[in-house]
Amino acid sequence: MTDSESVLDRQPVPTGLSVTVIDIDDPDDLRVDDFRDLNSVDRRPDLPALPGGRVGKGLVIAEGVLVAQRMIASRFAPHAFLGVDKRLHELSADLRDPSLAGVPFYRASADVMARVVGFHLNRGVLAVARRPQALDVADALAGARTVAVLEGVNDHENIGSIFRNAAGLGVDAVLFGAGCADPLYRRCVRVSMGHALLVPFAGVADWPGGLDILHDNGFQTVSLTPEPSSPALAEALIDPATGAPRDKVAFLVGAEGPGLTRAAMRASHVRARIPMSRGTDSLNVATAAAIAFYERVRAGQ
Amino acid sequence: MTDSESVLDRQPVPTGLSVTVIDIDDPDDLRVDDFRDLNSVDRRPDLPALPGGRVGKGLVIAEGVLVAQRMIASRFAPHAFLGVDKRLHELSADLRDPSLAGVPFYRASADVMARVVGFHLNRGVLAVARRPQALDVADALAGARTVAVLEGVNDHENIGSIFRNAAGLGVDAVLFGAGCADPLYRRCVRVSMGHALLVPFAGVADWPGGLDILHDNGFQTVSLTPEPSSPALAEALIDPATGAPRDKVAFLVGAEGPGLTRAAMRASHVRARIPMSRGTDSLNVATAAAIAFYERVRAGQ
């Protein structure tokens, strides 16, 4: 390409990058297939690779400078980038990371990018990684003292918000019980500000029986519920034997509307409620979780 | 209409309604113009009627059964409904409210509704009201003991979430400083679960000087900030002279990213921070506000 628009679009490649910058001018170029049709229900590259049945590529997409930076810092090692020249320059310090040696940065115009991904992406840069092996619950809990456990949370934005709130308020791990959506879907990763890639998480295969691993590891399991007869949150976090805050706490939260199942609540040690005004709806699940996390921070844990 | 689909679509009108049920089969029917082109940037009926310049209709749209019920219970008196037969029946108890005498309920198929509003609306019912005269700050503060004050919050979903959190956590009024979006836009009303219609709100014309009305009325004004040097939230809500919780508190919150302006922080009594993990982003503004509201509830206020 030698036309004037391209000349204006592209500054010289920054020096010392670990990534290899490759210009893409044809939206049908096969090399950018991992970024293709991001909004497609059945072809998007971040569909999980299911065992048997429908098979997705099982990739993870980071969107925007901040989330791409967090992916580079995470255990999700990006194997390619697609972005406009401006974002290449904004990311240049990050793209010198030795772990990115030889990784392609596909540089394209905003228009070519839009034709690859299927819509105009105003964040201007994407990174893609293969999913590493999932953590098991014991790995995710290593060193953890505050944990969030989700049941039936099938809204990607809520899961993303819970990761963001977990990172901001000192939660060490997130566990997924039955009925939750994929935390590695692009929208979830984006809403989490990339923290879905950084906060350790794992799925609890046997639900809710698998909660016993928390009990075996000394966690007090606390089910959040709007039930007015339940003790207030602050009370549930104190060990009545000592009057001190519990050492390890896991908060169980359920979907808006139905909330936690009876089985999950029965499998936990205690129930706790956020004091609410009469006659109003429960809070959004991510907001309720944030308040629980805050109460824990507040107690100095 | 006598074709079989219509017969199946429409049950007999419930008895005893205050509203007048009128069947609409033509999407171009002028009687449903107040519901037309809801997503249009320049024609949507809930654009504010600006003094001079561009003039909108200044209507308020409630979407879905729950929000329509809250509109009926609010000072925003609906002057028309548009909905499918199923929603007419779900709302029948509410539609017997004498305040709705003679108000039209335009009954339409989902397809006709979609062609009126411009997209498929899966909540199936809308109510529309004219904006009543705005409250002034003194009206909004009447009897209030906990208040949220917003500056630069220009995201409708965040404003909606703040209203929902305010209602759930006992906040009596919301004040709008400079740079905020319209709290009566449809998306904001929907995200608020209708509480934008129920929690009193008012705009502070002189910003931030107008905060003095809070001070004159005995409110402690508390600016939320991530500044690590600021006192923790819990501390800021206690009167050091008595050790008891402050009687009246107003929380100032700013937009994500920039936060509150220096001028607004200087105009408030104290700053307070939510204890956060190092190196993470600030919380979403509605989440931060919810935590502040919770801290207030927690202190028994």
Chain A interface disruption, residue of B66, B283, B285, B295, most A CBs within 10 A = B283
Nearest-CA distance B59 → chain A (Å) = 25
The pair of three-digit structure tokens given for residue B33, joined into one six-digit string: 């113009």
Q: Establish if B73 touches chain A: CB-CB under 8 angstroms.
A: no
Number of alpha carbons in the 13 Å side-chain half-sphere of residue A15: 0
CB neighbourhood size of A263 (10 A): 13
Subunit contact A168:B286, Cβ cutoff 8 A = no
Is residue A285 within 8 angstroms of chain B, CB to CB?
no
Domain ranges of chain B: 4-130, 137-298
Residue in the block written with tokens 């059964």: B65
Contact of A91 with A125, CB cutoff 8 Å: yes
Whether B276 contacts chain A with CB within 8 A: yes
Tell me, what's the pLDDT at A164? Answer: 96
CATH superfamily name and code, B137-298: SPOUT methyltransferase, trefoil knot domain (3.40.1280.10)
- In angstroms, rounded to a whole number, what is the distance separating the alpha carbons of residues B106 and B99? 17
Hey, what are B272's tokens? 């307070």
A265, A234 contact by CB (below 8 A): no
Contact assignment for A294 to B291 by CB distance below 8 Å:
yes
Query: What is each CA distance from B148 to A80, B74, B185, B274, in whole angstroms?
Result: 45, 20, 19, 16
Plot region of B124 (φ>0 → left; ψ -120 to 50 → alpha; else → beta) = left
Residues with pLDDT less than 50, chain A: 1-7
For A159, the 3-state DSSP assignment is helix
- Which chain A positions have a beta carbon within 8 Å of B235's beta carbon? none
Q: Is the CB of A291 less than 8 angstroms away from the CB of B286?
A: no
Q: Does residue B253 contact residue B150 with C-beta atoms inside 8 Å?
A: yes
Nearest chain A Cα distance for residue B53, angstroms: 30
Please, what sign has the CA dihedral across residues B209, B213, B216, B217?
Answer: negative
Report pLDDT for A50. Answer: 72
Strands (E), chain A: 20-23, 59-63, 78-83, 104-107, 125-130, 146-151, 173-176, 201-203, 220-224, 249-254, 270-272
CB neighbours of residue B188 within 10 Å? 22
Cα B209 off chain centre by: 25
Would you call B62 helix, strand, or coil by DSSP?
strand
Contact A281 B234 (CB under 8 A): no
Whether A270 and chain B come into contact, CB under 8 Å, resolves to no
φ/ψ of residue A120, rounded to 5: -75, 120
Q: Cβ contact (<8 Å) for B277 and A167?
A: yes
Q: What is the DSSP letter of B57?
A: -
Find chain A residues with C-beta within 8 A of B297's C-beta.
Answer: 275
Q: Is A128 helix (H, G, I), strand (E, B) or coil?
A: strand
Q: Token digits for A1?
A: 């390409």
What does each C-alpha distance from A63 to A161, A186, A293, B283 come to in angstroms?
Answer: 16, 7, 27, 19
B274 to chain A, any CB pair closer than 8 A? The answer is yes
Alpha carbons A115 and A190: distance in angstroms, whole number: 21
A290 chain-B contacts, CB cut-off 8 A: 283, 287, 290-291
Please check whether residue A73 touches B, CB under 8 A.
no
Structure token digits, residue A246? 């519990």
Q: Running DSSP on this structure, what letter comes out for residue A268?
A: S
Closest CA to B194 of B229, B168, B224, B233: B168
Q: CB distance A281–B170 less than 8 Å?
A: no
**pLDDT for residue B263:** 97
**Domains B4-130 and B137-298 in one fold:** no
Residues of A in contact with B282 (CB under 8 A): 168
Contacting A residues, span 121-160, partner chain B, CB-CB under 8 Å: none
Which portions of chain B are predicted below pLDDT 70? 1-9, 51-55, 278-281, 301
The Cα B188–Cα B67 span in angstroms is: 11
The answer to whether A275 contacts chain B (CB < 8 Å) is yes
Q: Report yes or no: B224 and B268 within 8 Å, Cβ to Cβ.
A: no
SS3 state of residue B253: strand
Q: Inform me whether the C-beta atom of residue A170 falls under 8 Å from chain B C-beta atoms.
A: yes
- Report the gap between the CA of B199 and the closest CA in chain A (Å): 12
**Angle at the Cα of A251 from the Cα atoms of A250 and A252, rounded to 5 degrees:** 115
Q: For residues B240 and B224, what is the distance between their CA atoms, to the nearest angstrom? A: 19
Angle of helix A285-298 relative to helix A156-168, nearest 10 degrees, comes to: 10
Give the residue from B75, B68, B216 showing the smallest Cα distance to B138: B216
Cβ distance of B167 and A277 shorter than 8 Å: yes
d(CA B45, CA B24): 19
Nearest chain A residue to B195 by CA distance is A280
Contacts of A292 in chain B (CB under 8 A): none
Maximum distance among all Cα pairs of chain B, rounded to whole angstroms:
76
- The answer to whether domain B4-130 has CATH 3.30.1330.30 is yes
Q: B92, B211, B66, B297: which is closest to A233 by C-alpha?
A: B297
Query: Is residue B18 less than 8 Å (CB to CB) from chain A?
Result: no
Strand ordering across the sheet containing A270-272 = A201-203, A173-176, A146-151, A249-254, A220-224, A270-272
For residue B83, list its beta bridge partners.
Answer: B107, B125
Q: Is B192 near chain A, with CB under 8 Å?
A: no
CB pairs under 8 A between A and B: 74
CA gap A194, B216 in Å, rounded: 44
Best to test chain B binding among A171, A224, A277 (most B CBs inside 10 Å):
A277
Asked if A188 and A182 touch (Cβ cutoff 8 Å), the reply is yes
- The two tokens of residue B121 are 């609306």
Which residue in A has a C-alpha nearest to residue B164's C-alpha?
A283
A282 touches chain B (CB under 8 A): yes
The pLDDT score that the predictor gives to residue A42 is 82
Closest CB to A283 among B165, B170, B280? B165
- A50 CA: distance to closest CA in chain B (Å): 30
Inter-chain CB proximity B281 and A165 less than 8 Å:
no
- The token pair that represents A211 in the structure block: 């909660």
B-chain CB neighbours of A234 within 8 Å are: 298
CB atoms B168 and A277 under 8 Å? yes
CA distance A294 to chain B (A): 7
Chain A residues whose beta carbon lies within 8 Å of the beta carbon of residue B295: 294, 298
Residue pair A207/A177 in contact (Cβ under 8 Å)? The answer is yes
B298/A234 CB distance under 8 A:
yes
**pLDDT at res. A3:** 44
Say yes or no for a CB contact (<8 Å) between A168 and B290. Answer: no
> Would the CB atoms of A165 and B282 count as touching at under 8 Å?
no
Q: Would you say the C-alpha torsion B220, B225, B231, B234 has a positive or negative sign? A: positive
Rounded to whole angstroms, the Cα distance separating B172 from B195 reads: 11
Query: Rounded distance, CA A174 to CA A147, Å?
Result: 6
CA distance B267 to B262: 8
Q: The complex's ipTM?
A: 0.90
